[in-house]
């Protein structure tokens, strides 16, 4: 058979996405395990389909240690389904880690938070500054030898559920806003849950840019420390919008260093221009140290 679906043996369902299920699959040729996401085409307009295909093509080219690797894609025209085969992340996601801490009344060690932070920033650096070499510390960056002119990729949906761990505890940024940029997805349909991680500029329907990803990462780091997103005490959508615009972040648990609290606060600056870029974050002395320890 030349049906690409037949190259994989379906194993259990591991998640439910907005456009279909995610399954664990085994490639028959070599037994390798992957995650296979299905996107139901039939509910999408022609424009949405084009958008998805364009998006998948971008993801295909993101080949990075800290980004969930896309392996293959194929279309089942009869059933209107696009399948995306990607790296399987067996360590769960950061949402599960946060939940476990909350349930057990424990806190994440600060070193663990810096280690996750570093790996996510390295992934974002690759997306936001393609072609630039990862460079930590305060010495001047090496002259970039490459003339890589790839377009910038924005994640658009950084949150604990979208940051995965593989079996070796290596962080993998996944689930790029694939279903997010679909035409007609206004603010209301973009966020089905409470939009705790929405940046002030996106809240005001201004364009999304790389600094909006930085805001969301700041929220994620905050949640790793506090085990609740910032502004979670908002009771209504309007109240949340008000809290976000004012940018008054409740303090982090005192167990964490002021260095960590300060960098999170900088990422949660209401003014996007004032937030550090991924490249600037890599200059942070604590991330530089974590980088050297890891490499
Ligand atoms: P959506 O686009 O609707 O947000 P996701 O891609 O986030 O869908 O997938 C939903 C769930 O499926 C995730 O929270 C996770 O539990 C599981 N999942 C998705 N991708 C993977 C993967 N590569 N490896 C392991 N589990 C995954
Ligand atoms: Mg998701």
pLDDT by residue (tens digit) across 4-42? 889 999 999 998 877 789 999 999 999 999 999 998 888
The pLDDT value given to residue 119: 96
Mean pLDDT of 210-235: 96
Strands 33-40, 81-87: pairing is: antiparallel
Annotated active-site residue in 157, 209, 213, 288: 157
CA distance 290 to 284: 10
Model confidence at 226: pLDDT above 90: yes
Nearest ligand to the C-alpha atom of residue 23: 1
Q: Which two tokens mark 201? A: 């500029």
For ligand 1, the distance from its centroid to the CA atom of residue 93, given in whole angstroms, is 9
What is the pTM assigned to this prediction?
Answer: 0.89
The pLDDT value given to residue 182: 41
For ligand 1, the distance from its centroid to the CA atom of residue 292, given in whole angstroms, is 31
Q: Do 160 and 113 touch, CB atoms closer than 8 A?
A: no
For ligand 1, the distance from its centroid to the CA atom of residue 17, given in whole angstroms, is 6
Nearest CA to ligand 1 atom 3: 17
The pLDDT value given to residue 197: 93
Q: Is the CB of 59 under 6 A from ligand 1?
A: no
Nearest ligand to the C-alpha atom of residue 94: 1
Model confidence at 150: pLDDT above 90: no
Q: Is the CB of 55 under 6 A from ligand 1?
A: no
For ligand 1, the distance from its centroid to the CA atom of residue 5, given in whole angstroms, is 19
The pLDDT value given to residue 183: 35
The pLDDT value given to residue 143: 55
Model confidence at 236: pLDDT above 80: yes
Q: In this predicted model, which residue has the larger pLDDT, 241 or 137? A: 241
Average pLDDT, the chain: 87
37 is in an annotated binding site: yes
Nearest ligand to the C-alpha atom of residue 17: 1
The pLDDT value given to residue 179: 52
Q: Which two tokens mark 148? A: 């890589």
Q: To which residue do tokens 């303090």 refer?
A: 251
Model confidence at 156: pLDDT above 50: yes
Residues 105-120 have pLDDT tens digits of: 999 999 999 999 999 9
Model confidence at 140: pLDDT above 70: no
Q: Which residues pair with 34 in a beta bridge?
A: 25, 87
Nearest CA to ligand 1 atom 1: 17
Ligand 1 atom nearest to CA at 175: 6
- Our answer to whether residue 61 is catalytic in this structure is no
Q: Do 154 and 272 touch, CB atoms closer than 8 A?
A: no
Nearest CA to ligand 1 atom 9: 17
ipTM (interface pTM):
0.95
Q: Is the CB of 175 under 6 A from ligand 1?
A: yes
Model confidence at 208: pLDDT above 60: yes
Nearest CA to ligand 1 atom 5: 17
Q: Which of 40-49, 180-189, 250-259 has the highest mean pLDDT?
A: 250-259
Residues 170-203 have pLDDT tens digits of: 999 998 866 554 433 444 344 456 789 999 999 8
Least-confidence region, from 92-96, 163-167, 194-198: 194-198
CA distance 40 to 36: 13
Q: Is the CB of 179 under 6 A from ligand 1?
A: yes
Of 13, 12, 38, 174, which Cα lies nearest the Cα of 94?
174
Ligand 1 atom nearest to CA at 86: 23
Q: Which two tokens mark 178? A: 């694939």
At residue 96 the predicted structure's pLDDT band, cuts being 50, 70 and 90, is very high
CA distance 58 to 115: 27
Q: To which residue do tokens 């990607």 refer?
A: 86
- Residue 93: DSSP 8-state: B
């Amino acid at each position: 058979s030349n049906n690409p679906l037949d190259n994989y043996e379906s194993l259990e369902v591991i998640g439910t996405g907005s456009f279909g299920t995610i399954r664990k699959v085994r490639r028959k040729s070599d037994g390798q395990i992957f995650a296979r996401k299905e996107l139901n085409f039939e509910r999408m307009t022609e424009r949405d389909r084009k958008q998805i295909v364009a998006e998948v093509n971008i993801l295909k080219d993101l080949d990075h240690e800290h980004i969930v690797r896309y392996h293959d894609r194929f279309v089942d025209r009869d059933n209107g389904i696009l399948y995306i085969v990607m790296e399987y992340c067996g360590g769960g996601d950061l949402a599960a880690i946060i939940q476990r801490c909350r349930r057990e009344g424990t806190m994440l060690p600060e070193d663990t938070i810096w280690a996750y932070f570093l790996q996510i920033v390295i992934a974002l650096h690759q997306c936001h500054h393609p072609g630039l070499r990862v460079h930590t510390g305060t010495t001047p960056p090496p002259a970039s030898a490459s003339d890589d002119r790839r377009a910038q990729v924005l994640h658009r949906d950084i949150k604990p559920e979208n940051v995965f761990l593989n079996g070796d505890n290596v962080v993998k940024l996944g689930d790029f806003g694939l279903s997010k940029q679909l035409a007609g997805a206004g603010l209301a349909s973009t966020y089905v849950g409470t939009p705790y991680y929405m940046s002030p500029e996106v809240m005001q329907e201004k364009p999304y840019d790389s600094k909006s990803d930085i805001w969301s990462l700041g929220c994620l780091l905050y949640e790793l420390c506090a085990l609740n997103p910032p502004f979670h005490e908002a009771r209504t959508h309007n109240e949340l919008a008000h809290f976000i615009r004012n940018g008054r972040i409740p303090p982090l648990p005192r167990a964490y260093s002021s260095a960590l609290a300060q960098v999170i606060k900088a990422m949660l600056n209401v003014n996007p221009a004032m937030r550090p870029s991924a490249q600037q974050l890599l200059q942070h002395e604590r991330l530089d140290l974590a980088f050297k320890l890891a490499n």
